Amino acid sequence: MEKVNIGIVGLGASLNYMYAPIIKYLKKGKIVAAMDPDRKKLNKAKTKYRIERVYKNFEEIVNDKELDALIIASPVQYHKEQVLKAADKGKHILCEKR
């Protein structure tokens, strides 16, 4: 089985405490993209976790054809719209819920 290419939407707590530190140790999954409107968070994630592509808006990441899955870790008010769009694009989805 090939690696699952994963994108993370929202780099608040997910950047340091949740998904990124865990996923980097997976044998069959790799974070290849991240999305956040904060350029500093994107640059930090790109360097720290060797993320290949970074995006400032959701439309860019959801349309990335190389992504198999998205982790939705954005503010809760965006979850419904983002999950529906990701599903429409055929992405596997993990949606953080607080």
What CATH number is attached to the domain comprising 60?
Answer: 3.40.50.720
Q: Is residue 36 part of a domain?
A: yes
Task: Judge whether residue 79 has pLDDT over 80.
Answer: yes
Residue 83 domain-assigned (yes or no): no
- Residue 80 in any domain: the answer is no
Do 22 and 73 meet the contact criterion of CB atoms below 8 Å apart? no
pLDDT above 90 coverage of the chain, percent: 59
| Residue 78 belongs to some domain of the structure | no
Kindly state whether residue 85 falls inside one of the protein's structural domains.
no
Segment 48-63 mean pLDDT: 93
Residue 84 forms part of a structural domain: no
Domain that holds residue 14: 7-73+90-95
Give the pLDDT confidence score for residue 24 in this predicted structure.
65
Instruction: Give the confidence band of 2 by pLDDT, cuts at 50, 70, 90.
Output: confident
pLDDT at residue 61 is higher than 90 = yes
- pTM of the predicted model as reported, rounded to 2 decimal places: 0.87
Pairing mode, strands 69-72 and 92-95 = parallel
Total count of domains within the chain: 1
Q: What pLDDT score was predicted for residue 14?
A: 60
Contact 49, 20 (CB under 8 A): yes
